[in-house]
Amino acid sequence: MESRVKPSILPGFMELLPEEERIFQDMQQKIRNVYESFGCLPMDTPIIEKSEVLLAKSQGETSKQIYRFTKEDKDMTLRYDLTVPFARYVAMHSENLAFPFRRYQIGKVYRGERNQKGRYREFYQCDVDIVGKETLDISNDAMVLYMVSEAFKAIGLENYYFALSNRKLIKGLLAFWKVETQEEVILGIMDKFYKLKLETFKEMLEEVVEEKIAKELIQLLTMVKDTKEVLRCLESYQGENELFDEGLKEIQEVIEILKVLEVPVKNYQLDLSIIRGLDYYTGTVFETFLQGAENYGSICSGGRYDQLSSCFTKENYPGVGISIGLTRLFSVLKEIGFIQQYPLKPVGEYMILSLGNTNRYALKVYQKLSALGYRVGLNLEESKLKKKMSYANKLQVPRVIIVGEDEMKREEVLVKDMFSGEQKSYRIEELNKIQV
């Protein structure tokens, strides 16, 4: 006898039972359909790439979390996002692409995250990016948000909000306040705004900037629920710093376009605490939170990057992208009970159950129903009708087709509704008359 291994998977990996997997794939399919409906082209890149390529732009933070190994003397890494491979793809294939290049990509990425709620080491990202050659209009920043809002609508998600900012705003403000040398520290503190108590946050800020500046910053951060008010407050700094003015103009335009695109006002807010860790963002940045489930972290993030491909080519490809973290989103939606109520059509319209020595006949029926376009399940195993009915029940099939020896002799089938219990016989030539 061979020795046995305990069947298990590595910690930090998500694996679903069929019922939940059906929902996961349905969500994925709906996101795909929405991205395609906006004329985005599909893309796929290898999960394994040369380390020098994937790490060309990254700093310490990323490299600690990666899956990196050597095979046949080649240093390789599993992709940790879909953005760096996209930058490489654009630089590598630019001659064969039409710009602006609108692409979407749905795939798994890998990070050696600490094992905790909502964090996975393997997770799906559903990215959509628009990349231009030399220039890319600011309307695209609003466009990617719109696409995701439509994707969320398709999966029935309403209680979320995009938290928007523009890096130029905070960078410009810090320069205007003449504390730009403290930028890194200040941004680090701002990033923790929702994690810290207001008092602690204030104390930390005042360790690096004057009380007056800390006060102004806190004021900006605490009025996020009212986008108009934040904008008005920001406008009061206009004309003091060029970078800030640029950022203000951009965020104003993004918000205007969100209105034109009829993205509901409750689904976005202007929040200067949104910094985004990755250093390739240069303008608009966004994260996304589920109303009341903010502590799980952002379920969809992105922003504008004007220099992303610069480590691969001297050509300039400014872009903007957004990424739904589908695995995390799914796990949060499960926590809040959304998945349990997700509407899904049954596995099939029918299931054929054979009784006695009728398998060939049952398969003939199966073939005919399939050819008519029905989704049909099957159970031809040698077992009692009761067991087969319970199988159909488990798979939640609405109607079964019972094929016993009598039916076979008469060239008939018996159709039974699993809910009402009603049943009716049909001749095999009349299968097209079965009601669905």
Binders of its own copies among residues 36 to 65 (CB under 8 A) are 36-39, 41-50, 52-53, 56-57
Site membership for its own copies, residue 194 (CB under 8 A) = no
Selected range binding its own copies among 163-171, 186-194, 216-224, 308-316, rule: CB under 8 A: 308-316
Q: Which is nearer to its own copies, 54 or 170 (CB)?
A: 54
Among 334, 379, 412, 434, binds its own copies (CB under 8 A): 379
Q: Which is nearer to its own copies, 65 or 182 (CB)?
A: 65
Q: Which is nearer to its own copies, 240 or 256 (CB)?
A: 256
| Separation CA 398–CA 416 (nearest Å) | 9
Cβ 122 to its own copies shortest distance, Å:
5
Among 204, 380, 389, 434, binds its own copies (CB under 8 A): 380
Cβ 359 to its own copies shortest distance, Å:
5
Cβ 13 to its own copies shortest distance, Å:
4
Cβ 186 to its own copies shortest distance, Å:
25
Count the site residues for its own copies by CB under 8 A. Answer: 104
Site string for its own copies, 18-37 (x = CB under 8 A): x--xx-xx----------xx
Question: Burial letters for 153-164: b for 16+ Cβ neighbours within 10 Å, e otherwise?
Answer: ebbebeebbbbb
Positions in 129-168 near its own copies (CB under 8 A): 132, 135-137, 139-140, 142-143, 146, 150
299 within 8 A of 290, measured Cβ to Cβ: yes
| Vertex 396: Cα angle to 394 and 401 (nearest 5) | 100
Positions in 247-306 near its own copies (CB under 8 A): 256-257, 260-262
Q: Which is nearer to its own copies, 197 or 314 (CB)?
A: 314
Question: What are the backbone dihedrals phi and psi of residue 341, each rounded to the nearest 5 degrees, phi first?
Answer: -110, 10
Positions in 311-330 near its own copies (CB under 8 A): 311-314
Site membership for its own copies, residue 376 (CB under 8 A) = yes
Cβ 45 to its own copies shortest distance, Å:
6
| Separation CA 85–CA 80 (nearest Å) | 9
Q: Which is nearer to its own copies, 147 or 190 (CB)?
A: 147
336 within 8 A of 290, measured Cβ to Cβ: yes
Site string for its own copies, 103-122 (x = CB under 8 A): x----x-x-x--------xx
Site membership for its own copies, residue 182 (CB under 8 A) = no
Site string for its own copies, 207-246 (x = CB under 8 A): ----------------------------------------
| Separation CA 200–CA 184 (nearest Å) | 18
Q: Which is nearer to its own copies, 17 or 436 (CB)?
A: 17
Selected range binding its own copies among 84-92, 162-170, 209-217, 231-239, rule: CB under 8 A: 84-92
Cβ 374 to its own copies shortest distance, Å:
8
Positions in 327-356 near its own copies (CB under 8 A): 347-348, 351
Site string for its own copies, 389-428 (x = CB under 8 A): --x--xx-x-------------------------------
To which residue do tokens 């039974």 refer?
416
Q: Which is nearer to its own copies, 239 or 264 (CB)?
A: 264
Angle of the 139-154 helix axis to the 18-37 helix axis, nearest 10: 140
Among 63, 159, 252, 310, binds its own copies (CB under 8 A): 310
Question: What are the backbone dihedrals phi and psi of residue 300, each rounded to the nearest 5 degrees, phi first?
Answer: -170, 115
Among 382, 420, 433, 436, binds its own copies (CB under 8 A): 382
